[in-house]
Structure 1
């Protein structure tokens, strides 16, 4: 823990129109939660602007620093590797850092979309007690019984919006059941992410030809060494390139590494997802420009947390915050 008499300094990049970083004092209450990649509100002249924390340091060459107004994200919105790549892109392409970060971080991640919460309903009594309560309520309080019927089918609970879709009723019977201490209503974050899980039997990998096996061996050797190398697979349509990709992905996942599978067009998304779902148990995230801001934000967070180690998408998926990318 840092001592408040020696406050830390955050070097930040504003979201727009300033080709340099700025230093701000980090308030004591957020010292332990702010990191490179965190999103913050900072004072600039007579306004408050959004920014990305670039660096946390112990000193500054500037005097009379202002303090950060608010920490917008308790966790970084990107990975250290992507921040390092942003630094390289800025130098290599002679582009201001704020423009590079605008490219790397979707607008939804930069604060244009908000996390959404909703009431989540779970039973407070046993399954047998719910069934008994249903029988008692069915004659005079049919709508309450209907709510409990739905909870019998969803033993882990469900969001209020999904519950009301199934009952076709209003919130009133739900409130009554809560008042009578039969159910619990608590706010939870709604997951709008576009993430798939394996939902049928896994297919077996195919036996590779000599040429395929040679190509795969070259790729997996790079993965084993943890080295960056470029590999070009050349072959006509139907020559088996995709099977090499799939087995390379399998090897990366075995090494606990993440994967980005880029496709040339969004129209190819469905068949790519189905192919991956048939081979891997891991969750698969989809990123492309047609997602709503909320869908993109929640999918981004899944990827960042490592819960979806396979990312599929077109160009915009290139900068996905995949931890430990293979």
Structure 2
């Protein structure tokens, strides 16, 4: 398998790279990748995946940047349209539709640790007070962010890990999309209310518009 990559440097062309076996399940259209280019290592975006290339001795992709694809097919289509409409390099157009923060090599999707309560088989073990306090919160929530749990219980991650060692909880890492409106309360819009004078003016405008007839064309 090969990947066609648009590099971050504006060369107005795409380059083919081989997909090494260890990255076979990670490279797809829209993936951000690091590739060799001469003596340099450059970031780029995969624009297509194919079975073979018309070029020989392809260099392999070095690594995939980020856990999930940031450039969706719609974003890629938009970037291509921008490049054609404004007569700019496709690479420049692609950079314009991505925030600078996510174009960096170390930028990716945020990974967070979740703590989940597990079914208790047999007799519940006797826990030290600190662990019991933590368990009470987990039992009530069933699932909670590790960072939130540590803050609520005024404890440390090490204490939670001890519950994991006892088989009472599981701690897993999950990729989480960042929602800038997660803590915002967005109210539904309501129709604007006009005052009496505005209502009269609006009716006159409607009557004038309804009374207009298109002029006949000869």
TM-score of the aligned structures, taking structure 2 as reference length: 0.69
Which residue does 1:79 correspond to in 2? Answer: 72
Structure 1 residue 120 and structure 2 residue 106: aligned?
no
Task: Indicate whether 1:169 and 2:155 are aligned.
Answer: yes
Structure 1 residues 178 and 28, CA gap change in structure 2 (3 angstroms):
closer
How many matched pairs?
191
* Corresponding position of 1:150: 137
Distance 1:142 1:90 in 2: 63
Question: What corresponds to 2:31 in structure 1?
Answer: 38
Q: Distance in 1 between matches of 2:167 and 2:80?
A: 55
Alpha-carbon offset, residue 96 of structure 1: 0.9
CA deviation after TM superposition for structure 1 residue 93, in Å: 1.0
Mark the CA change 1:163 to 1:22 in structure 2 (over 3 Å): closer, same or farther.
same
| 1:180 partnered with 2:166 | yes
Contact between 1:120 and 1:159, CA under 8 Å: does it hold in 2?
Answer: yes
The answer to whether the 8 Å contact 2:29/2:49 transfers is yes
Contact between 1:14 and 1:49, CA under 8 Å: does it hold in 2? yes
Counterpart secondary structure, 2:74: helix
From 84, 88, 109, give the equivalent of 1:95.
88
What CA distance in whole angstroms lies between the structure 2 residues aligned with 1:204 and 1:47?
52
CA RMSD of aligned residues (A): 3.5
Q: 1:32 to 1:114 in 2, by over 3 A?
A: closer
Q: 1:116 to 1:86 in 2, by over 3 A?
A: closer
Check whether the contact 1:9–1:26 (CA below 8 A) recurs between aligned residues. yes
Partner Cα distance (2:164, 2:70) in 1: 37
Please identify which structure carries the higher strand content: 2
Separation in 2, partners of 1:154, 1:15:
45
When the two structures are superposed, what TM-score results if normalisation uses the length of structure 1?
Answer: 0.49
Residues 47 and 62 of structure 1, relative CA distance in 2, 3 Å threshold: same
Asked if 1 retains the 8 angstrom alpha-carbon contact of 2:115 and 2:172, the reply is yes
Partner Cα separation in structure 1 for residue 26 and residue 162 of structure 2: 40
SS at 1:86 equivalent = helix
Residues 148 and 15 of structure 1: CA distance in aligned 2, closer, same or farther (over 3 Å): same
- 1:80 deviation in Å? 2.1
Aligned to 2:208: none
For 2:210, the equivalent position in structure 1 comes to none
Is 1:53 the counterpart of 2:46? The answer is yes
- Give the 5 Å matches for 1:261-276: none
Indicate whether 1:108 and 2:101 are aligned: yes
Contact kept, 8 Å, 2:33 with 2:43, in 1: the verdict is yes
Displacement of 1:47: 2.1
Shift of 1:172: 3.8
Higher Rg of the two aligned structures: 2
